[in-house]
Every structure is written in C-alpha cells, then in structure tokens.
C-alpha cells in the first residue's frame, strides 16, 4: 500500500469538486491557483513515484484502496477492487499525464483567462486528469473501463465547451457517438474476456495469457478462437478512442474545442489511451498474431490516410489533428509489429512535441484574433519570433530530424518493422512513406504560416505572460531532449522477450533510408511549395488561395469517410427512422388504447341523455335476464 500512489488521482479530483461547486464565486486567480497547483502536486507526486520505482528495483507498486464488488459467474468469482497498479508502462503514462497535463493546465489558466466559464473549463480539465489517471493506474479492466468512459465524457464536455455554437455541439456529439461504437466493442470484449479467463485483473490475465502462450500446444482451437475475438474487440475499443481507421472521423472535428483541450486530450493523452490499452493487454494480443497484423495494417493505413489528408487542410488545428492521427498510426504500427517499447516511447515523445505544437498554435491563433486559416497567416516568423521558434522545434520533432525526441522514437519503430513477424517490409515502406508525408505537410504548414508575407491586416495581440512562456519552453525542452529519457520496459513486456526472433536478413541501407527520408521531404517541399515561401512571386498569387479542386477538397474532408459513413449508416438509419416515424411498435401498443377508446365511444352512445333509451335499456335487460333464467 503506497499512500502516494493511492492519493494521486485525488488532488485533481478535489480541485474538480471545489471548482465545480464553488466555481462561480472564485476569482480567476483563486480558481487558476487551485487547479494548476493540484496538477503541480500530482506531477510532483508522480515524479516521486517514478523515482521510488527506479530506486527500489521492485518494478511494481500497488495501492489497494477499497473492495469494489465481486464478479461471479458460472465457474467461480473474482474480486474487483479499486486498486492501483504502477509498473513501467503506467509510470510512463502517469508522467505524461501529470507532467504534460500540468504544463497544459498552466498554459490554459492564462489562455482561457478571459472566458466567462473559466472555472468550469478548469474543472473539466481536472476531471479529465482524474479519469485518465484512473485509466492508466487501473489494476483491473473494470476500473480501466471506468476511466475510459470518464475521459470520453470529459472529451465530450470539453469539445462542446463553447456550446453556444452549433458546430461545436455537433462535433462533441460526433466524437461521443463515434467513440461509443468503439467503447461498445470494448465492453463486449471485456465480457468475453471474463467469460474465457474468469478474471478481469490485468496482472492475472497477462499471467494466464503467458501460460497459455508457453503451452501453446495445449490450447485448443476453441479458446484460440475466443482469444482472437477478444483481441479484435479490444482493438475496436482502441481504434475508437485513438481515432484510427475506421473510426477516425471524429478527431478533426474535435478541434472545435479550446486549443488547450486539443493539446491535452486530443493530442497528448486521451487519444493515446488506445495505444496504452493494447500495450497493457499485450499478453492477449500476442496470442492472436492475426490481430497483431490487423493492428499494424490499421496503423499503417491511418498513417498514410491522415498524412494525405493533412496535406490538403487549410486550418492549422486540423493539420495538427491529422498529424496526431498519423502519429498514433505509427504507435499502432509499432504495437502491431511487436515493438511495444518503441510504441510506448513514441507515445511519450509525441505527447511532448504535439502538446507543444498545439499550444504554440493556440498562442498563434490567439495572437491573430482567432484566425485559424493558414492561407490568412504568413510571415509569422518575423511577427511572432518566440512562438515561431517553438513551433519550429515542434515541427522538427514531428519530422523526426536526427537528434530530436521524435527521431529516437520513430526510428526505433521503423527499425523493428522490417524483421517483425507480424509486420514486414511492406509495412516498413508504408512507414517510410508516412515519414515522407509527415515532413512534406510539416513544411507546407510552416511555409504557409510562418514564411512569406503577412496576409492579415490586424496587429498581433500577445499575451506577455512568463508562466505561459515557461510552460512552452519546458515543453520545447522535453520535445528536444525527451528522446534521451531512458525507457526500460523490459519487465513489463517480459513475455515478448521469449519470442524467437525471425531470422530475416535486413538490408544494410534500411537505417540510412529511414534517416534521410525527412530530408528528402524537406527538399521536395522547398521547391514544390516555393510560392508559399515567397508569397510575392509574380503571377502566382492565385496559389495563395486554397486550392478547391475536387481531389483536394476530397482529401481535405478526410478522404471522404464522412460522406461514406453518411451514406452507409446515417442515411439508412434516417430512412428507417423516417419509415418508422409513427413507431410501429408503439402503434401495436396503442391498439389497446384504440380498443378501449372504441368501447368508450360505444358506451358514450349509450349514455345519450335520453330517458326513454334508458328505460328501453332497463326493459331489455329485464327481458334478457328473464330469458336467461328461463333457459
């Protein structure tokens, strides 16, 4: 029992309670202090926990809070406890959640200062951190699911934070419904898992799965089939939360929320929950190599699709959203290929540089009076040198230039693809192509937004706050040097180590190609996007309007997935609803009412107020009664 571990989610929770109940009466200073300091304490506590974890060599810390309930089924029962479990993997997650979360809170407290509902915003952010911590610390899958739904709720609340605007509300609804599909799949997966293993405790399930793996001859076909389905359904949940194909459509729309939300939830933490889930349940996934293959392919396809879509965007936040999708695609690819550590490592570095990118983008958008259109920016390098330099740092990490954190993690992923059982050269090429696309859209974004001549007339407004700058600078430092953090997850993924490595000969040029790919993209962009760079190029002014060709618009709208889903699911559903407007089943029920009404009408006819009818009815009744007695 570790008190520090047990108390970790409670700091933001207390802050949430204070803000939600007394928010209206708190001044900005007090509300900001409460929420940010709670996050600071959380970050501090997780730092201490990380230190303890590395010192004790115990590698696992647990904290049993209370017994929640007992699950029983035909073959026995299993206790479900509110119990926190900290190992290497969850340690990475809590450090990202609390560390990056703290910096984003700091940023948000200043960024959202003028908002009327400031305390509500901070309360939701704190609640999100609570849910996310529960998710990553959960000892069993039930508690994990609680956190999983909690972050979904907070995501919904925060996307629709400015609920007076309809598009925001629609985006929130879309995000909620689409992730709900994944969550349903995950819930079914959990039930199936409980049915086959009789356990929902992550440790126990992993142990059972490892046993099954080592005795692979003993597992019969039926249980293998079961595990296949469990892995597939859990993958469904991960896909929904992490905005991968085919449930990726909600993430670009989710950018309707305030920018700190995009940074915290839709870039750094929540969307990586799917990655965390798969890494956490790696025992199950190792038993189903087909599903691992699917994971890899889904990741690769999302990576390419999002890269192409990012090339056509005009909105700076949507570029970053698609870039998030594609980077999570990398993580999925890594998980699918069995490169667990690399995937989690990329998760961490991505959290750093993507939070940095979003926050600087937020600062830029604020400076330009809420202008998000890239084609109306330009020349920001001169006007906002500080933000621009931070943005450059974020971009070079995203492009994975050598030396940055992104480089370490992405190269680690790409290096393991070629010779993996469940991946292979095909996916390796996909990853390289993705890296190329990443560098091209990053350059396009940079050229459009920061080089050339300014295409706006207003003066830039700046928030000169040292705290805000501090948070950005810390994130930038983490982005640059986060790759040097030693990440040792061998104990978590110990079962992986038993896998016999495929003895595939790797060509010697692999690493060279991987390293020079971003540079190829940069050189290509330097010439291809020349007009973006030099905006006064004679006769090329039209290029500085967004291209509205059919293919470009198609790409801008996420390669037509929204339209496809509209045709495939929404329209048939609406058609059915239209048919069933009068609710057929309700009509069947209403038949009773109609029948009663019929009798009512008939009896009303009898109650006609005419005395002679009543008398006749008397006579008839007497006649009938006598007749009956006679018969």
Partner 1 sequence: MTSIPLFHVLILSSLLFVIGFIGVVARKNTLFMLMSLEVMLNAVGVAFIGAGSVWQQADGQVMFILILTLAAAEVAVGLALLIRMQKKYRSLDIDALNQMKG
Partner 2 sequence: MLANFASIDSLFYLAGLVAVIASLKVVTGNNTVHALLYLVVSLLAVAVCFYLMGAPFAAGLEVIVYAGAILVLFVFAVLMFGLGADETANAPQNKNVANMFGAMFLAFALLIEIVIIINNADLQQNLQANVIDSKAVGIMLYGPYLLAVEIASFLLLAGLLAGYHYAKPDVTRGPL
Contact with partner 2 (CB under 8 A): which of 501, 504, 571, 616? Answer: 616
Nearer to partner 1, 74 or 611 (CB): 611
Residue from 127, 50, 56 nearest 92 by CA: 50
Number of residues that bind partner 2 (CB under 8 A): 9
Residue from 561, 628, 309, 343 nearest 440 by CA: 309
* CA distance linking residue 192 with residue 233, whole number of Å: 9
Distance of closest approach, residue 622 Cβ to partner 1, in angstroms? 10
Phi, psi of 498 (to 5 degrees): -75, -15
Residues 243, 246, 247: CA angle, nearest 5 degrees? 40
Nearer to partner 1, 499 or 626 (CB): 626
Q: Determine if 615 is a binding residue for partner 1 (CB under 8 A).
A: yes
Distance of closest approach, residue 158 Cβ to partner 1, in angstroms? 59
Among the listed ranges 319-327, 538-546, 560-568, 622-630, the one in contact with partner 2 (CB under 8 A) is 622-630
Residue span 560-599 as binding mask against partner 1, x where in contact by CB under 8 A, dash where not:
----------------------------------------
Residue from 568, 571, 573, 624 nearest 246 by CA: 568
Q: Determine if 602 is a binding residue for partner 1 (CB under 8 A).
A: no
Collapsed DSSP state (helix, strand, coil) of residue 64: strand
Q: Determine if 606 is a binding residue for partner 1 (CB under 8 A).
A: yes
Collapsed DSSP state (helix, strand, coil) of residue 304: helix
Among the listed ranges 71-79, 457-465, 526-534, 601-609, the one in contact with partner 1 (CB under 8 A) is 601-609
Choose from partner 2, partner 1, none: what does 607 bind? Cβ within 5-8 Å by kind: partner 1
Contact 329, 434 (CB under 8 A): yes
Q: Determine if 76 is a binding residue for partner 1 (CB under 8 A).
A: no
End-to-end CA distance of the chain: 88
Collapsed DSSP state (helix, strand, coil) of residue 58: coil
Burial 365-388 (b: 16+ CB within 10 A, else e): bbbbeebbbbbbbbbbbebbeebb
Q: Determine if 614 is a binding residue for partner 2 (CB under 8 A).
A: no
- Give the list of residues 6+ apart from residue 263 with CB closer than 8 angstroms, or none: 104, 107, 354, 355, 358, 359, 362
Distance of closest approach, residue 619 Cβ to partner 1, in angstroms? 6
* CA distance linking residue 102 with residue 110, whole number of Å: 13
Distance of closest approach, residue 608 Cβ to partner 2, in angstroms? 14
Among the listed ranges 350-358, 522-530, 545-553, 616-624, the one in contact with partner 2 (CB under 8 A) is 616-624
Q: Determine if 504 is a binding residue for partner 2 (CB under 8 A).
A: no
Question: What number of CA atoms fall less than 13 Å from residue 151's CA on the CB side?
Answer: 30
Q: Determine if 624 is a binding residue for partner 1 (CB under 8 A).
A: no
Window 32-61: residues binding partner 2 (CB under 8 A): none
Q: Determine if 630 is a binding residue for partner 2 (CB under 8 A).
A: yes
Distance of closest approach, residue 603 Cβ to partner 2, in angstroms? 20
Contact with partner 1 (CB under 8 A): which of 75, 484, 604, 630? Answer: 604
**Angle between helical axes of 340-367 and 273-280 (0-180°, round to 10):** 170
Choose from partner 2, partner 1, none: what does 608 bind? Cβ within 5-8 Å by kind: partner 1
Contact 141, 192 (CB under 8 A): no
Q: Determine if 622 is a binding residue for partner 2 (CB under 8 A).
A: yes
Q: Determine if 215 is a binding residue for partner 2 (CB under 8 A).
A: no
Distance of closest approach, residue 574 Cβ to partner 2, in angstroms? 57
* CA distance linking residue 30 with residue 181, whole number of Å: 39
Enumerate binding residues for partner 1 (CB under 8 A). 603-604, 606-612, 615-616, 619
Enumerate binding residues for partner 2 (CB under 8 A). 616, 619-620, 622-623, 626-627, 629-630
């Amino acid at each position: 029992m570790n008190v520090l571990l047990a108390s970790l989610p409670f700091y933001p929770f207390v802050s949430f309670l204070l803000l939600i109940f007394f928010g209206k009466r708190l001044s900005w200073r007090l509300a900001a202090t409460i929420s940010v300091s709670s996050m600071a304490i959380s970050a501090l506590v997780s730092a201490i926990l990380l230190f303890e974890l590395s010192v004790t060599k115990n590698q696992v810390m647990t904290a049993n809070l209370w017994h929640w309930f007992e699950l029983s089924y035909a073959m026995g029962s299993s206790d479900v406890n509110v119990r926190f479990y900290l190992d290497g993997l969850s340690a990475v997650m809590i450090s990202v959640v609390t560390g990056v979360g703290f910096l984003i809170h700091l940023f948000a407290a200043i960024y959202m200062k003028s908002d009327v509902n400031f305390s509500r915003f901070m309360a939701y952010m704190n609640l999100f951190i609570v849910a996310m911590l529960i998710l990553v610390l959960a000892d069993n899958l039930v508690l994990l699911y609680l956190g999983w739904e909690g972050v979904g709720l907070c995501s919904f609340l925060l996307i629709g934070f400015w609920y007076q605007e309809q598009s925001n509300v629609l985006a929130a609804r879309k995000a909620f419904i689409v992730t709900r599909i994944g969550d349903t799949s995950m819930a079914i997966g959990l039930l199936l898992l409980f049915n086959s293993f009789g356990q929902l405790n992550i440790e126990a399930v992993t142990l059972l799965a490892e046993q099954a793996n080592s005795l692979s001859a003993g597992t019969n076909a039926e249980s293998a089939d079961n595990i296949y389905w469990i892995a597939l359904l859990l993958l469904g949940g991960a896909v929904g939360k992490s905005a991968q194909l085919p449930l990726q459509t909600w993430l670009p729309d989710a950018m309707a929320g305030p920018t700190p939300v995009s940074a915290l939830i839709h870039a750094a933490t929540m969307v990586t929950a799917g990655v965390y889930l798969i890494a956490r349940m790696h025992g199950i996934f190792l038993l189903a190599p087909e599903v691992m293959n699917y994971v890899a392919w889904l990741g690769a396809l999302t990576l390419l699709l999002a890269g192409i879509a990012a090339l056509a965007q005009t909105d700076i936040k949507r570029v970053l959203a698609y870039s998030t999708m594609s980077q999570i695609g990398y993580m999925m690819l890594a998980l699918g290929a069995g490169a667990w550590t690399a995937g989690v490592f990329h998760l961490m570095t991505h959290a750093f540089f993507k939070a940095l990118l979003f926050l600087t983008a937020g600062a830029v958008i604020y400076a330009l009076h809420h202008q998000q259109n890239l084609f109306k920016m330009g020349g920001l390098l001169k006007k906002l040198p500080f933000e621009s330099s931070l943005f450059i740092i974020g971009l070079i990490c995203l492009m994975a230039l050598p030396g940055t954190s992104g480089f370490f993690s992405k190269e680690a992923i790409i290096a393991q693809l070629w010779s993996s059982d469940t991946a292979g050269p095909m996916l390796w090429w996909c990853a390289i192509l993705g890296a190329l696309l990443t560098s091209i859209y990053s350059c396009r974004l940079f050229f459009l937004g920061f080089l050339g001549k300014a295409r706006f007339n207003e003066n830039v407004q700046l928030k000169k706050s040292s705290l805000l700058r501090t948070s950005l600078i810390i994130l930038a430092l983490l982005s640059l040097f986060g790759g040097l953090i030693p990440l040792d997850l061998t104990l978590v993924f110990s079962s992986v180590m038993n896998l016999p490595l495929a003895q595939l000969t790797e060509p010697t040029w692999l690493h060279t190609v991987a390293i020079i790919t971003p540079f190829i993209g940069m050189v290509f962009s330097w010439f291809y996007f020349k007009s973006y760079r030099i905006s006064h190029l004679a006769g090329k002014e039209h290029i500085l309007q967004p291209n509205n060709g059919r293919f470009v618009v198609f790409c801008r709208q996420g390669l037509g997935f929204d339209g496809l889903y509209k045709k495939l699911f929404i329209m048939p559903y609406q058609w059915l609803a239209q048919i069933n407007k009068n609710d057929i089943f309700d009509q069947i029920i209403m038949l009773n009412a109609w029948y009663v009404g019929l009798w009512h009408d008939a009896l009303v006819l009898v109650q006609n107020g005419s005395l002679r009818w009543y008398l006749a009815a008397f006579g008839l009744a007497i006649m009938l009664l006598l007749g009956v007695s006679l018969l």
